[in-house]
Structure 1
Amino acid sequence: MKFTRKANANWKGTGMEGTGKISTESTTLNNAQLSFKTRFADGVGTNPEELIAAAHSGCYTMQLSFLLNEAGFTADNLDTEAQVTFEDGTITKIHLKLEASVPGITEQDFQTAAQKAKEICPVSKLLKAEITLSAALVG
């Protein structure tokens, strides 16, 4: 399977005082605000790090679901938070925090699937930052 997705960003003005908008092909984001404040302080809108966190948590969670299904399990719930760390102009780390409810799975099988999903998730493979994971089987 091969496909291309796209998004568009527009910026006007300087880095600190300028403003921007970002939109996705699906229009889930449609002229969402982008600014210095939304990236480095408090402001209404989004920022690249938040968007990377959303992409990574979504991709990882779907990948894990596929792996669990291949192993004969169906999750009742997979909840993944991606924490993106930005330091000195670089994204240095992404921590995936997973809480899952998967009936019938052993802790060892769950941890194996969770780790494999982290390694083979397309977004994980794309990023150069250190990517860590803590996975908890609940319920």
Structure 2
Amino acid sequence: MIKKFGSAKWSGGLKDGKGKVSLESGALKDQPYGFNTRFEDGAGTNPEELVGAAHAACFSMALSNILGESGITPDNIETRSTIHLEMSGGPKVVKAHLDVTITATGDKDDILEAAKKAEKGCPISQLLNCDITMDAQVTTA
């Protein structure tokens, strides 16, 4: 079993408090977050964009693996995962939308089918308890 961790420190109340988030790898260390970075336009990060980055990275790797199993090595996969936070009835993640651009040599339909498999099958997609949608663009060589 592989285990990875992220950590957070928080001080103060919800609206006036401040937090710092770090990753085991050190890629983020004491990155600020707070009410203003999550619900307003303050500088820093927030849980939703961190989940979006994790989702985009996981999907891209899963897609590369699925394509590789079909003998296709992608030249490039660019993915953006937009996390939708609904505020009515209390904050809840209701949707994750993937926008992906794939450049690869191979049959376009096969590449799109692989993207559909990765959309539902990547570990972070499986973790999320929300609607997951995708728009995929494929450029073949």
Q: TM-score, normalised by structure 2?
A: 0.95
Does structure 1 residue 10 correspond to structure 2 residue 12? no
Q: What SS does the corresponding residue of 1:9 show, helix, strand or coil?
A: strand
Match of 1:120 in 2: 121
Residue 118 (structure 1) shift: 1.0
Does structure 1 residue 73 correspond to structure 2 residue 72? yes
Instruction: Tell me how large the CA RMSD over aligned residues is.
Output: 0.8
Matching residue's letter, 1:99: T
Q: What SS does the corresponding residue of 1:98 show, helix, strand or coil?
A: strand
Match of 1:132 in 2: 133
Matching residue's letter, 2:65: F
Q: What SS does the corresponding residue of 2:15 show, helix, strand or coil?
A: coil
Q: How many residues align?
A: 137
List per-residue Cα deviations over 1:70-126 (Å, max 9, x = no partner): 1001111100010111111111101000001011x2121011100001111000001
Match of 1:49 in 2: 48
Percent of aligned positions with the same letter in both sequences? Answer: 39
Instruction: State how far apart, in whole Å, the 2-side matches of 1:106 and 1:129 are.
Output: 31
Match of 1:33 in 2: 32
Instruction: State how far apart, in whole Å, the 2-side matches of 1:12 and 1:50 are.
Output: 21
Segments of structure 2 that go 5 or more residues without pairing to the other structure are none
Q: In the alignment, which of 100, 103, 122 is matched to residue 102 of structure 2?
A: 100
List per-residue Cα deviations over 1:21-75 (Å, max 9, x = no partner): 0001101110000111110111111000000000000000000001111100111
Q: Once superposed, which parts of structure 1, at least 4 consecutive aligned residues long, lie more than 2 Å away?
A: none
Residue 138 (structure 1) shift: 1.9
Instruction: State how far apart, in whole Å, the 1-side matches of 2:94 and 2:120 are.
Output: 17
Matching residue's letter, 2:104: V
Instruction: State how far apart, in whole Å, the 2-side matches of 1:134 and 1:46 are.
Output: 25
Q: TM-score, normalised by structure 1?
A: 0.96
Q: What SS does the corresponding residue of 1:138 show, helix, strand or coil?
A: strand
Matching residue's letter, 1:90: K
Segments of structure 1 that go 5 or more residues without pairing to the other structure are none
Q: What SS does the corresponding residue of 1:8 show, helix, strand or coil?
A: strand
Instruction: State how far apart, in whole Å, the 2-side matches of 1:7 and 1:84 are.
Output: 19
